[in-house]
Structure 1
Amino acid sequence: MRAVVADGYGGPEVLRAGELPVPSPGPGQVLVRVRATGLNPGELRLLAGVFRDRAPLTFPHVPGRDFAGTVTEAGPGVTRFSPGDEVFGHALPRGAVAMAALVADVPSLSTGAMAEYAVFEADAPALALRPAALPPEHAAVLPTAALTALPLMRAGAFQKGQRVLVIGAAGGVGGVVVPLLAEAGAHVVATAIPEDEAYVRGLGAAEVIDYRAADPVAETLRRHPGGVDTLVNLALPGDRLAEAARAVRYGGRLLNIAFPAPPADAIGRDDLAPETVLTTARPGDLETVADSALKGTLPATVGRRYTLDEGPRAYADLLNEHTRGKLVVVVDNG
């Protein structure tokens, strides 16, 4: 089978398109013919060796977490899925099993979704049936973003009329967070460059601040002198959150998903501490996500498409270029 492969740690330059044997499903596993896979920055951190002490990779390593595809074989003991089922989901590479210490819930483990075929653990809540009306490319860019956004929405308990500043709204997670906030009735102030303004407004942002032309904190306070109720940080590193937190009213909240997570005392305020939200899959979450996509709440956020052989370039673009929404590799148009 064709796959994107790394033979050692490094950046996108260590990735190549090559041939590997088709993996076989073991007990409790399914083999999936991958139709599409969405890219995530965390895959590059894993490849770079950021977690190698706790989650060492085995090589050759096939990246890829998010996918949509067709079950072609079910291993012994699998009752949840059958050959021919259309599925989508989120999975970590098998070598990253120690990521259990880094995430709230370990999703399905996989041989890597950036390939024509991949094995997944069938009973994990991060796998679900894909409705026929949900296109594979759309389904493939949802799982990581949505399974990050849903815990964030639960943690925030957002109410109608609350003012929420979203930093990094045009990115992959923003493509789910902003629509869910808008659906909840929040007044979303989003940071984005002018080229992305129409996109984030289409997601549901009520206001957009060009962070290249104006200081987002100063501009937020100019528009909302009392500060926003909640800051949702999808992009800034932890050492920049103290400055960003000035936009939050006294007694407000700061929710963070960016890596590395800031310490509790990073803000220097007695009324405000960063709350880092981790990607978590609960039973039924992906089914809820699919329903939201079908009714139009979660639009397709595919920014660029690549072939499987272009997978290494897709990762290079993810690392080196400004991206809107999600990058997707189309593995099989069949």
Structure 2
Amino acid sequence: MNGTMKAVVARGHGSPAVLAVEDIAIPRPGPGQIQVRVEAAALNGCDLDLLSGRMAEAAPLEFPHVPGGDFAGTVTEAGEGVTRFAVGDDVFGTGFPRATGRFSAAFSRPTSLTTGAMAEYAVLEADAPAVTHRPPALHAERAAALPISGLTALALLREGRVQPGESVLVIGATGGVGSVVVPLLAAAQAHVIATAGAADEEHVRRLGADEVIDHLTTDLAAEMSRRYPDGVDAMVNLALPASRLIDVSRGIRRGGRLMNATHPAPQPGTHERDDLTMATLSGAARPGDLDDLAARAVKGTLPPAVGRRYRLADGPRAYREFVQEHTRGKLIVAVGASA
């Protein structure tokens, strides 16, 4: 398939202001790769980290650069040697656009080069565990909202080894990862305390939170000390910078666990607690992880997490609003005919 396609494009590093919708060449799959007609794509903070240039050494970009990792769509062409997928298969997953080094290695083969999802077509590695078949009952927009958030949530819960009845504080429960972490913790029968503004309280309770603390009007550390004088069993941090974790982590019981998903991670030796199990995690895909998340979404264990929806023509605006406005759940760009 030759010709051009519409895509969100950056011609150099910068803020979302450098993004524009342009006509560029349709990418073709090489050996071991598939071409996908994208139906929906989701925004993630790492899209903007890559775009900014802050990670240029670990994850260099080629320009013109199409952002976006999380996607759902249909296979339109398969490269030589591909047996896992066939033309016409509905798929979803994630990949890091033209990124090499440790970033892409977490999600696919270290040598993989994929094109961005904010486009009508994308190319991905067919054997990457972060790409899989999409069940017919899972809508494309819901599927696109799952990969990075869901894989990060699974990594956090595996590290935390949360048991039924344990108390877990989730800081930043309204975002994309929180929209998966909270229901997964609820399904594991944990007692979930979530931070959220008053306008989002009903939302996080629907996700499965048992208690909600308004972090906008309440001193979180003081409120946790009041409610849980002996501390909670575990904490999942999805929002606070490392500089604030020292204070808030006093609300974890002795021998408890702190699972962090924010970067940069706390530096060794800077934390005053030596009794905590601490880990900073991101969402590396294991074989079967996306299938697990899809099954949970179809079953209803994971509620829909689509916050705002945009057309491809509004993709640059979506990234600007991702930075400038409060986000509940995932921001989705509808690319296909339904857009």
TM-score under structure 1 length normalisation:
0.97
Of 78, 81, 86, 1:82 maps to 86
Cα distance in structure 2, aligned partners of 1:293 and 1:74:
28
Bigger mean CA deviation after superposition, 199-208 or 106-115: 106-115
Bigger mean CA deviation after superposition, 212-221 or 302-311: 212-221
Q: How does 1:91-240 map to 2 (within 5 A)?
A: 91-94=95-98, 96-100=99-103, 104-106=106-108, 109-240=113-244
- 1:104 CA drift (Å): 4.2
CA distances 1:50-84 after superposition (whole Å, capped 9, x unpaired): 11122221100000000000000001100000000
1:22 aligns with 2:26: yes
Contact 2:108 2:125 in 1 (8 A): no
Amino acid at match of 2:22: G
Cα distance in structure 2, aligned partners of 1:298 and 1:75:
34
- 1:158 CA drift (Å): 0.5
Contact 1:37 1:331 in 2 (8 A): yes
Secondary structure of 1:93 counterpart: coil
1:2 aligns with 2:6: yes
Contact 1:166 1:188 in 2 (8 A): yes
- 1:105 CA drift (Å): 4.7
Bigger mean CA deviation after superposition, 158-167 or 220-229: 220-229
- 1:273 CA drift (Å): 5.2
1:327 aligns with 2:331: yes
Of 44, 68, 71, 2:72 maps to 68
Cα distance in structure 2, aligned partners of 1:181 and 1:332:
33
CA spacing shift, 1:103–1:239, aligned 2, 3 Å = farther
Contact 1:227 1:248 in 2 (8 A): yes
Cα distance in structure 2, aligned partners of 1:103 and 1:31:
20
1:275 aligns with 2:312: no
- 1:109 CA drift (Å): 4.1
- 1:115 CA drift (Å): 0.1
- 1:261 CA drift (Å): 1.1
1:40 aligns with 2:44: yes
The alignment covers a number of residue pairs equal to 332
CA distances 1:126-154 after superposition (whole Å, capped 9, x unpaired): 00100011000000000000111111111
Of 51, 55, 58, 2:59 maps to 55
Cα distance in structure 2, aligned partners of 1:273 and 1:236:
18
Partner of 1:249: 253
Cα distance in structure 2, aligned partners of 1:243 and 1:296:
36
CA spacing shift, 1:170–1:161, aligned 2, 3 Å = same
Cα distance in structure 2, aligned partners of 1:126 and 1:263:
29
Cα distance in structure 1, aligned partners of 2:92 and 2:57:
30
Q: How does 1:310-325 map to 2 (within 5 A)?
A: 310-325=314-329
- 1:333 CA drift (Å): 3.2
Cα distance in structure 2, aligned partners of 1:65 and 1:99:
15
Please provide the CA RMSD for this pair. Answer: 1.3
TM superposition outliers: structure 1 runs of 4+ over 3 Å:
102-109
Cα distance in structure 2, aligned partners of 1:164 and 1:86:
36
Secondary structure of 1:20 counterpart: strand
Contact 1:34 1:69 in 2 (8 A): yes
Contact 1:267 1:274 in 2 (8 A): no
TM-score under structure 2 length normalisation:
0.95
Bigger mean CA deviation after superposition, 213-222 or 81-90: 213-222
CA distances 1:245-269 after superposition (whole Å, capped 9, x unpaired): 1111111111101011111323211
Partner of 1:308: 312
Q: Which runs of 5+ in 1 are unaligned?
A: none
Q: Which runs of 5+ in 2 are unaligned?
A: none
- 1:278 CA drift (Å): 2.0
Q: Percent sequence identity over matched residues? A: 58
Contact 2:95 2:107 in 1 (8 A): no
Bigger mean CA deviation after superposition, 283-292 or 213-222: 213-222
Partner of 1:285: 289
